[in-house]
Amino acid sequence: MVITPAVFIALAQASVELQELLAHHHTGDFGNLCAEDREVNRKAILRGCRVLSQYDLPTGERIWIISDPGARTTVLLAREY
């Protein structure tokens, strides 16, 4: 797993636990995605491809969690992409 330093700061400022977001991501609660992106994720899971989750923090910061099956999960701020 790769987590950018800015994520730790943003989560602390928002009083949100990383484990909570990872649990949502792992169980298929992909956060604040549009219907089209949710469908892309559904198809990606069936094909074993990359999956994206997006979570908006109370501070207005946006967290992305991207999992590449067989590779790694990356947690970053959307603005860092």
Q: Give yes or no for a contact between 73 and 66, defined as CB atoms under 8 angstroms apart.
A: yes
Q: Angle 64-60-31 (CA atoms, 0-180°, nearest 5)?
A: 40
The predicted-structure confidence for 34-68, as pLDDT tens digits, reads as follows 999 999 999 999 999 999 999 999 999 999 999 99
What global pTM score does this model have? 0.94
By three-state DSSP, how is residue 3 classified? strand
How far, in Å, CA of 30 to CA of 46, rounded? 15
